[in-house]
Structure 1
Amino acid sequence: MPDRIRRFLPFGWLAAVCLALSSFCAFGEDELIRFEGRQVQGGMIIGHAPAGSSVGVDGQPVLTTEDGRFLVAFPREQTDATTVTLTLPSGRRLERSLVPEGREFDIQRIDGLPQDQVTPPESVLERIRDDARQARQARERRDARADWVGGFDWPLTGPITGVYGSQRILNGQARNPHWGIDIAAPTGTPVRSPAPGVVTLAHPDMYFSGGTLFIDHGHRLVSAFLHLDAIHVEVGATVDRGEVVGTVGATGRATGPHLDWRMNLGDTRIDPALLVDWSDNPDAEPR
């Protein structure tokens, strides 16, 4: 073998080894990227990336845990893909396209109602706008807490009388969809926090939702509890899983005592029913 070839041979082997190691590491990083949960309209999934990765969802940066977990939500009406962009610790940039499965939502048409049962009177519109402002403000926290990692329990058990995504059309006018899950229970029944969190709103009497409580579980994931008869915690309080935070009522625009439990990831309204174990509520019929 000529000397000039022999001299350069070790460098060739070194380059080959480096290339192999690089490919192996890249493959290893790809293997760490995965998603868990129900990828459906109104659903939320947990993404897993290598620790130290930066993550964006549809061009917006999202928080990640120290071990690389993050949240992705799908709106009720979404039919196209959500793009998740990941910048890995190695500097590699990857994209994943996630398309939610469609769902059928209940639509109810009611005609012949008096107009005051369809549109709120002018005298309360300013109050309604102020309620909405307070709710938006309470959801704006960008807290690195990740109290959602342990999952969610039912805040109480009982029959389900209203579901996420259902919608009424009153006198031909489409109302906003129902954004929560209604759980029937007698007035005064304890309501427990489904996961740890921080109280960001505790309002005794909003126009539509009556006694209203928000608990922030971190990463902009917020539980809302509506129509409460009593609220036992104050804004800024840290609550534990299972802690009693209020009681069931029929305050606001409610036809009877029940809890309306809603969840938001940022501005996206998601279905709490997809995040709980239905076997823990024997009075409920799974949907």
Structure 2
Amino acid sequence: MLLERRTILVTGVLTPSSIAFTCARVAQEQGATVVLTSFGRALATTGRAARKLPVEPAILELDVADQAHLDALAPQIAERFGRLDGVVHAVGYAPAACLGQDDGLFAATWDEVATALQISTWSLPALAKAVLPVLADRSSIVGLDFDATVAWPAYDWMGVAKAGLESASRYLARDLGPQGVRVNLVAAGPLRTVAARSIPGFRQIDAVWQDRAPLGWDVDDPEPAAKAVVALLSDWFPATTGEIVHVDGGVHAVGAAGPS
């Protein structure tokens, strides 16, 4: 019961295959009161997924690109839940031209790149600022990441956005630490989610893990990543902030596949 008597906001739950869905489930299993966010046409899809959790959570409307939604978030949380003890940032999006095009980075326009950066990078500090008035002491913000230290097949501008996310998390750790708020990321290996299936070169990325992961890697099992998220939300990492925890079977640590 790592999260007993804690209220955790989880963004990014779309379907039960979402990493965020498993984060929400494991958080509930560890005693948390979970609150989801969604918006627009996705609200109905999120609602169907929510009903498959152990306890059906409340869903607040939040489009991270809509300042009015961000401004309304803390008052809604304060009225309905009092405070937040943790936040899971599982938001990412890039227009099709930003991913897997023959021209690589040259394929996308600035407007398309700006959208990717706004939703996938800027949204982390924007969300942190929005919930800051209701964050409890010793609270934790955890974002979902994909290793941005190297260039991956087809990941293109989303890889750039993830690099920005990693940097933003470090600056947030610096800025929010004095207020007792920890900010960390979990860099998961590739997982077969709705978002992943939209990446044209996902199979190429998956092949890297099948070849190189010392511990092996299951693209259909988000639970290892979710458990790391929940651990970072808990008090078990009281002095850890600005960190990227790799949950990838060990791929980040090896340069080439070992002997079979």
What's the TM-score once normalised by structure 2's chain length? 0.24
Higher RCO (CA-CA < 8 Å; seq separation 6+): 2
The structure richer in helix per residue is 2
- The structure with more radius of gyration: 1
Q: How does the TM-score come out when normalised to structure 1?
A: 0.23
